[in-house]
Amino acid sequence: MTVAQQPEALSFECETGNYHTFCPISCVAWLYQKIEDSFFLVVGTKTCGYFLQNAMGVMIFAEPRYAMAELEEGDISAQLNDYEELKRLCLQIKRDRNPSVIVWIGTCTTEIIKTDLEGLAPKLESEIGIPIVVARANGLDYAFTQGEDTVLAAMANRCPDKAPVAETETDKNERNAIQKLLNFGKKKEDVAQEESEYVDHPPLVLFGSLPDPVVTQLTLELKKHGVKVSGWLPAKRFTELPVIEEGYYVAGVNPFLSRTATTLMRRRKCKLIGAPFPIGPDGTRAWIEKICSVFGITPQGLDEREAQIWESLEDYVKLIRGKSVFFMGDNLLEISQARFLVRCGMTVHEIGIPYMDKRYQAAELALLEKTCQEMGTPIPKIVEKPDNYNQLQRIYELKPDLVITGMAHANPLEARGINTKWSVEFTFAQIHGFTNARDILELVTRPLRRNNNLKDLGWDKLVKEEAKI
């Protein structure tokens, strides 16, 4: 008698490593560009200032809307008045830039000395007449991309809880930045005709900071199936934050936004749609299908749409099919990226991840498991807070074709003949939706294509000969 073999299941481990990632105050780099009427004030030490200068120095001529409030010895020993100093800086920001919102970013130092930013902000806000949002983005508690999570969680509390009483449906659309963009150049009667194509469903708000072209793409993908996006958090402008009422549906586009999801559910009484994330054609399809299923909509043409995208990616996929990859863990996109690469035909040895919220990523984990079973590849081990020393030993033993890692470990691994790709590049690239899957594979295959080009030129033989000498 034969016993049916049970399918392999996901395995989770937690090691003792700390967060070996960029400091989360780096979220300022993309958020100040996304929220166009904002100003970010990072409250920290000179070390924080040096980091911001180095991480974002290339933008120095763009007159960026962020600044550093540097804590001196007098601040740390409580000899100076925090309120007066912050008031002076905020008045200067108001005079020079006049933003719609000032975001205070707390750092490790403000955590350690227990600076009461949340207590100071409301008083100062009423005095200077500009909203002040407080977000903690310290590297003690948060990994690289979780800085955005704390900012969006704080902004979720500032979203209006009801539309103005006299506001009509047309007024709502006009106030919604996405609708303005989609309706640009159209006649009112054409807009009204398109509005009638939407299915009648509860309001849906999407959260996650994405470049405007990607926001438009995902909004249009849902529109094809009759799903109307009521707003995005964050909006292009703080004054255009979406209305969020009790009972609204919300869905995230990034795996690192668990705190924002929790805030929307607990504080704003929203209903979270637990879907995989729209990264790769498979993830985007699953994301759309889940949103449609919640609203009782049967999506049309998704099979053909996904097949068409996979066909266009074949020139990249054939470079990595049959190869292996190892994720050291950096930006919390690892589960989604691993699932997509498994679908491309790669074997994933291990998924390191700085922080794992199994509830928020439940649908993504289920899709990873299903994808591995369908592709006939071993299910990777997921290691939270990996110990880098142990990881390096496993990498030397497994000899993967590619390691996706933080910047700190890339050069040492390359020196030992191991192909690497910086995970931070995926954070800044446009990787969401059907049409941007090519950008993910462009990054993944670059080290492999580089090696192929070097072989064609005979450089690999020269390197081996030099190594012998």
Task: Give the burial string for 334-362 (b: 16+ CB within 10 Å, else e).
Answer: bbbbbbbbbbbebbbbbbbbbbbbeebbe
Of 117, 85, 116, 123, the residue nearest 104 (C-alpha): 117
Distance CA 251, CA 260 (A): 11
CB atoms within 10 A of CB 55: 16
Sign of the CA dihedral running 286, 292, 293, 297: negative
Preceding peptide of 234 cis, ω within 30°: yes
Distance CA 26, CA 21 (A): 11
Which residues are CB-contacts of 2 (< 8 A; sequence separation ≥ 6)? Answer: none
Is 23 annotated among the ligand-binding residues?
A: yes
Under a CB-based contact definition with an 8 Å cutoff, are residues 235 and 38 in contact? no
Is 270 annotated among the ligand-binding residues?
A: no
One-letter amino acid for residue 456 of the chain: D
Is 292 annotated among the ligand-binding residues?
A: no
Under a CB-based contact definition with an 8 Å cutoff, are residues 329 and 354 in contact? yes
One-letter amino acid for residue 414 of the chain: E
Q: How far apart are the first and last CA of the chain?
A: 62
Question: Which amino acids are annotated as binding site for [4Fe-4S] cluster, given as ranges?
Answer: 23, 48, 108
Question: Which amino acids are annotated as binding site, given as ranges?
Answer: 23, 48, 108
